[in-house]
Amino acid sequence: MSLRLYDTATRAVRAFEPMTAGKAGIYLCGATVQAPPHVGHVRSGVAFDVLRRWLVARGYDVTFVRNVTDIDDKIIHNAGHEGVPYWVVAMRNERAFTRAYDALGCLPPTYEPRATGHIPEMIALMQRLIDADHGYAANGDVYFDVRSYAAYGDLSGQRIDDMLASPDSAAQAKRDPRDFAMWKAAKPGEPSWQTPWGPGRPGWHIECSAMAERYLGAQFDIHGGGLDLIFPHHENEIAQSRAAGGAFANLWVHNAWVTTAGEKMSKSLGNSLLVDEVIRRVRPVELRYYLVGAHYRSMLEYSDEAVREAGQAYRRIEGFLQRARELVRPDVALHAIDAAARPAAFDEAMDDDLAAPAAFAVIHETVRRGNAAIAEQDAAQAADCLRASLAMLDVFGLNPWAEPWASASGTSTDRATDVIDALVQVVLQQRQQARARKDFVAADSLRDGLDALGIRVEDTPQGVRWTLEA
């Protein structure tokens, strides 16, 4: 079976048919870096990281472009409030986004273009649109004439006459109040770049049209982003790029929001949860498990309790992997992912519009069978379940023995975890010494002390092991 994805443009699940056999090109609208990222911001990055990983697992050579919007009204406003150049705010927050993507195990993009690095491409695109009577200049601004493009509104399912007019002060210069700015004339004290129409800066939409064409061509496979970008951003991208003569994206894929108390997570609502803060409370891999476990098109209601439950589920998987590893070593190559070990049901779920809940059900069933095999000391069955689990977890970026979660040797790279392990081992050694001298009261007291801290101790045929409970 082939991969099928829900296409926003046709409102249907469609087969992925790459333009070039064996290759896939993805453009993902990335961060507007006016502030550090909250959990809602990074869901898009994580969701499309899974799509990318699945395409790679299916044998595709993927070119993945994720842009950075490093100039816009809010960046300029925040820079003015701080009394610093716009690029200070942009660079600081771009680094925060990179740190968040890295912390959550997102593979680095093939290309990560910044808007301000592609002004010449934007100017050239706007000139093509003006020459084709789809754009016009007025008072230093450059606008797109929405009525010149008959398909305007098709992506979002809106009619031009039903759209609200822009409330901006420049509306009088527009041919139609619904026309949108591709280029904004410079205001006193604002950053600007020279163009044939005077100094100014990019509008939000022109940058993605220009950068997508620069790195993927006039037509490419998949354009992605959050639901909130469908209108006006993606609607305007399509209008610009297709009016300029390009076919643009063949599939439009959108992820749903992360909500809190039923509302879209946003800074304006005051309910944001910064990634840097959240990963101080929970392991990054457990936050990723929470984000990828739901279907990418399903709204995800954030709560600390939901993340804790996700963490418990992930630790149960880790516990199985560790017990299986102890039983079957050295019979399984722990760091070599065997794609053939993935169950067919898992592949079918992922090919069905990345149906994560169904895919995770296969993972948990495999872990259940693996635990039963361990209990029966069936090393062969345990090894099969271990291989299958690692192959499936790798697709979701959750393999605990792969980067960034672990080093090549399979030991944790998290120094805090290393320190905890060393301290627990001291207590376990004292417990073993107490048992050896038949002081079972002291041995039980040491075990109870660990249990009170959430550290569960197991006596297994392979020795004593511990897990950290939520």
Domains of the chain by start residue, with CATH: 4-255 (3.40.50.620), 300-395 (1.20.120.640), 415-468 (no CATH)
* Pairs from 270-274 (Cβ < 8 Å, separation ≥ 24): 272/38, 272/39, 272/40, 273/38, 273/39, 273/302, 274/36, 274/37, 274/38
Question: What integer pLDDT is reported at residue 469 of this predicted model?
Answer: 62
- Asked if residue 148 has pLDDT above 50, the reply is yes
Question: What integer pLDDT is reported at residue 410 of this predicted model?
Answer: 41
DSSP string of 38-105, one letter each residue: BHHHHHHHHHHHHHHHHHHHTT-EEEEEEEEE--SHHHHHHHHHHTS-HHHHHHHHHHHHHHHHHHTT
Question: What integer pLDDT is reported at residue 272 of this predicted model?
Answer: 67
How many of the other CB atoms lie within 10 Å of CB of 215?
20
Round the average pLDDT of the chain to a whole number and report it. 91
DSSP string of 311-374, one letter each residue: HHHHHHHHHHHHHHHHHHTTSS-TTS--GGGS-HHHHHHHHBT--HHHHHHHHHHHHHHHHHHH
| Strand-pair partners of 65 | 27, 111
Give the tokens for residue 449.
Answer: 């002390």
Residue 28 main-chain phi, psi, to 5 deg: -115, 125
pLDDT tens, 396-439?
Answer: 999 999 989 974 334 443 445 556 777 888 888 889 888 889 89
CA distance 388 to 440: 40
pLDDT tens, 227-269?
Answer: 999 999 999 999 999 999 999 999 999 999 999 877 777 766 5
- Average confidence (pLDDT) over 267-279: 79
- Asked if residue 74 has pLDDT above 50, the reply is yes
Which residues have CB under 8 Å from 172's CB, separation 6+?
none
Which residues have CB under 8 Å from 391's CB, separation 6+?
337, 338, 339, 341, 342
User: Is 282 in contact with 307 (CB distance < 8 Å)?
Assistant: yes
pLDDT category of residue 360 using cuts at 50, 70 and 90? very high
Residue 162 main-chain phi, psi, to 5 deg: -90, -10
pLDDT category of residue 333 using cuts at 50, 70 and 90? low
Which string of b and e fits 21-42 if b means at least 16 CB within 10 Å? Answer: eeebbbbbbbbbbbbbbbbbbb
Ranking 25-29, 283-287, 403-407, 439-443 by mean pLDDT, the lowest is 403-407
CA distance 390 to 338: 8
